[in-house]
Chain A
């Protein structure tokens, strides 16, 4: 188990290095000078003096290798540079906002699993039944309706018409825990619609597959109760692919909460990214992309380790 974890961590570190390098290269080898791109608004050619000044500030006038080394060196010290617009430390802004986005993803995943897992199992135990078909239809709709549509309609119905919840916003947990959770509910719920549909489909097909395995028949031959067979023999095995898919989706949500954060005015990392993109604030964009990509790699690492816990065969593989 220990050597397995070590090997996984080594691979993850390699991936992070690759991401850092790739982002650096993309920024530097894209046709056009970043400084020039940055200053040109609406097709007006920028002032050459301003461009030169910005190049110097960004260190773009130095040789590429020096730039790369100082970039990586800064990263190792946790320095992501500072915003071009307000001179805020990018690392500090990210530290403030990343937990909010992670919280949103965690809450959405929780809701998705809470509904998707039991309903997917139920549908798999009665394939072709009315329940199965109704649930499959609902999941198909859940997968097809874009998250910003869900969010916008939810605001219209629950906030504006029924006035059950506020339309959006954020209150720190430390100031008002209850209000914090109420505000979390709508954005997390909006994400959970699509995510829950994914969990449902994955669970259904995975459970169906495991039900056809020999060891399930063997469990029946032992005279075990149906509930023990499902909970103990089927689900434990069926969970393995479900965990992967959920983790992959949760990982891609790291950047994908953009729309939900925008709709519900949730001050997370993604909204910050959109602002940075709109204003072409390079250090901010690079910093956020790096942090999200690293978080993505870390999530995948955690999934690999979780696997080893669920499936004993992996530890030796």
Chain B
């Protein structure tokens, strides 16, 4: 998130301030009398004495515009203010006291919202007759519920917080707590509500005046001026132009101010979204001369996050290889870059991230080798879900809530095979049966929320293996599940792998899972692979101090003593100059703090990123 765009408030803020100042200063300005008629000069064109011309009664248009601003702004501000005071008070009381008072304050306000706004205003006008006072009362009633809702929600969110409870314990009375503790916290959303209300009140005021039910003639008001100009617009269209411009321009400025105020006060709003679809066609490299690895070979993969201030590289110099039928575990703490690595292989990095170096060589079904880091998006799409599939961590959020489970399995088949709908549906049911979903015919018609967590993950796996992939990337597929279900899912993956020569990259932070499922393991730390080798050998004799510490800290039995690794993982924008693990390393020596160790072979099939690997116990 970039800095809060406070400077974006300046322009609309300045215009609003200027409008307010001109309106306030109207009596002091050398203006013609806004209600003085001069019938012979009706519809006169702009002249020196009347810069914007004269209206259908010969009154000065400029003067009426400025005095009209005064009327509009006065009504809008006074009603927004009084609605704010009343509405906020009711919301605070209702949110703080709850119970009966909540019904009396908050729920009764909600009843008002049941009426369309202009209807309610008209009802008030019927009862009280047109005029400025009526307008203010109508708008106050109309806009108070908005404040009540905001204040109520904010109070509810605030009242449970520790410091409010603490005030209570210290013996502060409810009024004191509301005024001193809660009100300052709910002020920002109320400020936004205020500017919203002013703009809305101006729209409504001008509308009612336009209907002849608001400001009473001959007093000037923009709504009234438009009403008047309507009757002569064929002869004098410019008379329509001025009040329309003034009204629309003022409302537009207020709305702008309001939008930007919201951006400043609530930085989360408007920053959401990741344009997955924006991934443009990547640079294409000739792929004919690539050396053929067995299934996958990643060389020096580096991922960078584009930020205006710093270059952050959450994955650096990542190299690994995988043979058909082999299982490779990627192990590391949260934030070590293992999930990003998986996404990078599939070309699914968020749009803020980019592969800036390295190659991802993959041999497809036809035996052709390609660099996945540089194939065009359309070609990558043909591979995804077909040859290369991915199972994600949380099956709950990775299944689309509004589509049936069976359809979500069938669509991956139809995306890559030319198959009729019914055929794909039948295959989906068969797949759901394969992954051990009970009653697959009926379950395929269920929605994701009707399945248990384990059943959802089985469905995700069914979709992933639907087209018989050659490479499956499983990103912590068991983390969100119960322990017993975890074991079942692991068995399922192992059973499927036994039936095919699929390569599996298994991302996890659980060493017990690694020992159970993987042939080889890559240990990641702060965006780098620090050690790689066959699982049994690495576990028996680690060649990197981080691996050793990780194994020591894993709970193995009831009597095992947990050894926590001292210190914290360095942030990706503040990496140490030397070895990334050096600040936490027990056996770090002089070169470790100043020179980066390379990823070097330390035995047959084993590599480590450590100067002192020989000394690791």
What residues make up the interface of A, taking CB atoms closer than 8 Å to B? 15, 18-19, 22, 26-27, 30, 37, 124-127, 140-141, 143-149, 152-153, 155-156, 160, 205, 208-209, 211-226, 228-230, 232-233, 236-237, 251-256, 258-259, 262, 273-274, 276-278, 280, 282, 285, 289, 292-293, 296-297, 310-313, 316
Contact = CB atoms under 8 A, between A and B. Distances in A.
B127 interface: yes
Contact of B273 (A152, A209, A252, A259): A209
Interface residues of B, number: 72
Q: Helix, strand, loop or mixed for chain A's interface?
A: helix
A146 B251 contact: yes
Contact of A140 (B240, B256, B348, B402): B256
Contact of B203 (A146, A214, A232, A276): A146
Contacts of B385: 221-224
B138 to A, nearest CB: 12
11 contacts: A148-B210, A208-B272, A212-B272, A214-B392, A216-B276, A218-B460, A223-B385, A236-B403, A258-B211, A289-B123, A293-B116
B402 A237 contact: yes
A155 B244 CA distance: 14
Given A125-B277, A144-B255, A146-B203, A311 B402 contact: yes
B134 to A, nearest CB: 11
Per CB-CB distance, the 6 closest pairs between chain A and chain B, nearest first, are: A255-B119, A208-B273, A223-B385, A255-B116, A223-B384, A222-B385
Given A220-B276, A222-B384, A233-B400, A297 B114 contact: yes
Contacts of B402: 236-237, 310-312
A237 B448 CA distance: 14
A211 B398 contact: no
A208 B273 CA distance: 5
Interface string B200-211: 000100110011
B221 to A, nearest CB: 13
B599 to A, nearest CB: 28
A214 B412 contact: no
B124 to A, nearest CB: 9
Nearest to A201: B259
A254 B119 contact: yes
A221 B273 contact: no
B555 to A, nearest CB: 29
Contact of A211 (B210, B247, B273): B273
A216 B27 CA distance: 60
B416 interface: yes
B416 A223 contact: yes
Nearest to A279: B126
Contacts of A225: 381, 415
A127 B192 CA distance: 24
Interface in B184-206: 199, 203, 206
Contacts of B383: 223
Given A149-B248, A217-B348, A223 B122 contact: no
B360 interface: no
A251 B346 CA distance: 46
B278 to A, nearest CB: 7
A282 B126 CA distance: 8
A226 B401 contact: no
Given A156-B237, A217-B276, A226-B277, A292 B211 contact: no
A229 B276 CA distance: 10
A214 B348 contact: no
Contacts of A221: 346, 348, 384-385, 389-390, 392
Given A148-B206, A215-B401, A223-B415, 19 more contacts: A19-B115, A144-B251, A152-B244, A156-B233, A211-B273, A211-B277, A213-B397, A236-B400, A236-B402, A255-B118, A256-B116, A258-B122, A258-B211, A259-B118, A277-B126, A280-B126, A293-B119, A316-B449, A316-B450
Given A125-B277, A223-B382, A230-B277, A146 B272 contact: no
A125 B274 CA distance: 9
A293 B401 contact: no
Contact of B401 (A230, A237, A256): A237
A85 B398 CA distance: 64
Contact of A156 (B240, B256, B460): B240
A312 B119 contact: no
B252 interface: yes
A262 B125 CA distance: 17
B114 A15 contact: yes
B398 A214 contact: yes
Nearest to A253: B116
Given A26-B123, A126-B275, A312 B397 contact: no
Contact of A229 (B210, B247, B252, B277): B277
Given A255-B116, A292-B116, A152 B276 contact: no
A313 B449 contact: yes
Contacts of A209: 272-273
B276 to A, nearest CB: 6
Contact of B116 (A125, A254, A313): A254
B123 A153 contact: no
Nearest to A15: B114
B398 A215 contact: yes
Contact of A274 (B122, B270, B277, B463): B122
A211 B274 contact: yes
Contacts of A253: 116
B277 A146 contact: no
Contacts of A208: 272-273
B275 A125 contact: yes
B255 A143 contact: yes
A125 B278 contact: yes
A124 B403 CA distance: 22
Nearest to A18: B111
B415 A224 contact: yes
B106 interface: no
B299 interface: no
Interface string B229-243: 010011001001000
B354 to A, nearest CB: 16
A232 B403 CA distance: 9
A232 B203 CA distance: 38
Given A144-B251, A221-B385, A221-B389, A205 B118 contact: no
A141 to B, nearest CB: 6
A145 B234 CA distance: 21
B386 interface: yes
Q: Which of A22, A37, A141, A259 has the most CB of B within 10 A?
A: A259
B394 interface: yes
Interface in B362-419: 381-386, 389-390, 392, 394, 397-403, 411-412, 415-416
Given A15-B114, A222-B411, A37 B127 contact: yes
Contacts of A26: 123, 127
B126 A285 contact: yes
Contacts of A254: 116, 119
B57 interface: no
A46 to B, nearest CB: 14
A298 to B, nearest CB: 12
A252 B251 CA distance: 20
Contact of A212 (B274, B399, B416): B274
Contacts of A274: 122, 211, 213
Interface string B94-130: 0000000000000000010011111110110111000
A223 to B, nearest CB: 3
Contacts of A262: 210-211
A314 B402 CA distance: 10
Q: Which of A26, A214, A311, A313 has the most CB of B within 10 A?
A: A214
B348 A220 contact: yes
B267 to A, nearest CB: 15
B493 to A, nearest CB: 16
B539 interface: no
Contacts of A276: 126
A222 B415 contact: yes
Given A221-B385, A223-B412, A146 B276 contact: no
